[in-house]
Structure 1
Amino acid sequence: MNLEWRPVESSRIAAEAYDAAAETIYVEFPKNSVQWWYAACPPDVWEQFTSPGQSRGQFIHQVLDAKPNGRFA
């Protein structure tokens, strides 16, 4: 799998990526560069997560943490 990571200007997230075929969001946290995956995320969830002004941290807490997830890599 070849993910296209993009940096994020956030205190909680260092980078993010999306695998549309697997409908999975990937997030890299700045502390120790830990990467996490969140499954069952269709394109509209990715669009909400990455929309301008959206707090990534709040979205993870309120939406993504309820989805299947785990440590990546």
Structure 2
Amino acid sequence: MIELLWRDVSSSRIVAEAYDPETETIYVRFPSGVEWRYEGCPPDIWEAFSRDGQSRGAFIHEVLNYKSHGRHG
């Protein structure tokens, strides 16, 4: 299993995010500590999601929830 490089996020919806370019998977950690994965996310989706000023909650709702996803860990 790959070691994810989590980075803290200043967002009301999530507290950390990570990306695995090998599997094109975005990982998010919610304030409760629960982690989710969103598969089928090429680098352009990751760049849009992690861009400064991007609402993580809105992006999850509008884009990532339509990807294959589930609880991580």
TM-score (norm 1): 0.96
CA RMSD between the two structures: 0.5
Q: How does 1:28-43 map to 2 (within 5 A)?
A: 28-31=29-32, 33-43=33-43
| Partners of 1:68 and 1:14 in 2: CA distance | 21
* Residue 53 of structure 1: how far off its partner (Å): 1.0
Question: Runs of 4 or more off by more than 6 Å in structure 1?
Answer: none
| Number of matched pairs | 72
Gaps of 5+ in 1: none
Secondary structure class of the residue paired with 2:3:
coil
Q: Percent of counterpart pairs with the same letter?
A: 60
Which residue identity does 1:69 align to in structure 2? H
TM-score (norm 2): 0.96
Q: How does 1:1-73 map to 2 (within 5 A)?
A: 1-31=2-32, 33-73=33-73
| Partners of 2:52 and 2:16 in 1: CA distance | 15
